[in-house]
Amino acid sequence: MKTFKIEAGKTESLQIKDLQHRKSTISESFARSKSLILKDFDAPKTKHSKLEVSMQRNQRFRKFSRVILILGHPTKGSFNHAIADAAASKLRENGHEAIYHDLYAEKFDPLLFGEEIAKDAELDPQIEKHCKEIKEADGIIIIHPNWWGQPPAILKGYIDRVIRAGVAYEFLEGDDGEGVPNGLLKAETAIVFNTSNTPEKRELEVFGDPLEAIWKNCIFDLCGVKNFYRKMYRVIVTSNQEERQLWLEDVAKTVDMYFPPGK
């Protein structure tokens, strides 16, 4: 470093040193910040897409206050029940209202009769209550096993009777029913947790993953819920306690990601 041989040389030399020190400190600070930013975006590889991770980060500044949770499994003590309990627990821990329905325990009637199909049909009080809840929900979580590539019949009946015209979707004026419905659900996010005894490779190659098409394309996208995530846990019949515990931890992390504590 050059110093000037003048009366104020020492002062100017110190000033130059001070300036260079500040530049060095700023550079180091910027480098550290850049490193932290890069680390933040270098997230562990999971099945959540980049879009979902981005949405998750943005949603940490939002609040989901009411989340409806629907369980469709006949056996108490099943792993599906454990998933539902873990999801409900995380929702409540994060300060949300968890509206939890165990359809089998509540003896939900899945039968849809002809007189109930019309948009303005008179509904059973229980069905009216379910319709009101899902219409007002800020988020939706569904839990069920994979049976023949479909939800259990009781849950299919819930879909038929509750996710109905005037509640979850409508046809626009002039549409005689052949067009694409307009989604009405308020919920911005839906999660579906499934269990299966079919290995993933066979599920995709032989069956084409029908549950993904049912929930994402045929139901939630059509009803206006665009932020969708589904996770299948398998193979249940051969799993051990350690695997199941890890799966339950994954359930809690997923719920925490999509329904974080309110800000």
Cβ-proximal residues to 135 (8 Å cutoff; 6+ apart), any chain: 167, 168, 184, 185, 186
Angle at 212 between CA 102 and CA 145, to 5 degrees: 35
Tell me, yes or no, whether 227 lies in a domain.
Answer: yes
The string of pLDDT tens digits covering residues 23-39 is 444 344 434 433 433 33
How many structural domains is the chain composed of? 2
Domain shared by 96 and 177, yes or no: yes
Domain shared by 180 and 253, yes or no: yes
Domain shared by 17 and 94, yes or no: no
Tell me, yes or no, whether 46 lies in a domain.
Answer: no
Domain shared by 74 and 180, yes or no: yes
How much is the mean pLDDT over the chain? 82
Domain shared by 37 and 57, yes or no: no
- The mean pLDDT of 149-157, rounded to a whole number, is 97
Phi, psi dihedral angles at 66 (to 5 degrees): -135, 115
Tell me, yes or no, whether 223 lies in a domain.
Answer: yes
Domain shared by 210 and 235, yes or no: yes
Which has more pLDDT, 173 or 222? 222
3-state SS class at 165: strand
Domain shared by 215 and 135, yes or no: yes
Residue 146, sorted as left (phi over 0), alpha (psi -120 to 50) or beta, turns out to be beta
Tell me, yes or no, whether 59 lies in a domain.
Answer: yes
pLDDT at 2 over 50: no
The string of pLDDT tens digits covering residues 214-250 is 999 999 999 999 999 999 999 999 999 999 999 999 9
- Tell me what pLDDT residue 61 has: 37
- For residue 248, which of 100, 139, 85, 103 has the smallest C-alpha distance? 85
pLDDT at 11 over 70: no
Domain shared by 4 and 58, yes or no: no
- The mean pLDDT of 73-97, rounded to a whole number, is 97
Task: Return the H-helix or E-strand segment holding 248.
Answer: helix 241-258
- pTM (two decimals): 0.75
Domain shared by 108 and 169, yes or no: yes
pLDDT at 173 over 50: yes
- For residue 138, which of 33, 227, 50 has the smallest C-alpha distance? 227
Domain shared by 2 and 108, yes or no: no
Tell me, yes or no, whether 47 lies in a domain.
Answer: no
Q: What is the CATH number of the domain that holds 183?
A: 3.40.50.360
Considering only CA atoms, give the Rg of the chain: 27
Helix H segments across 42-185?
50-59, 79-93, 125-136, 153-162
* Beta bridge partner(s), residue 4: none
Using pLDDT thresholds of 50, 70 and 90, give the confidence band for residue 164: very high
Q: Range of 27's domain?
A: 1-41
- Tell me what pLDDT residue 203 has: 80
The string of pLDDT tens digits covering residues 233-243 is 999 999 999 99
3-state SS class at 50: helix
Domain shared by 154 and 28, yes or no: no
Domain shared by 111 and 211, yes or no: yes
What is the percent of the chain with per-residue pLDDT over 90, rounded to a whole number? 65
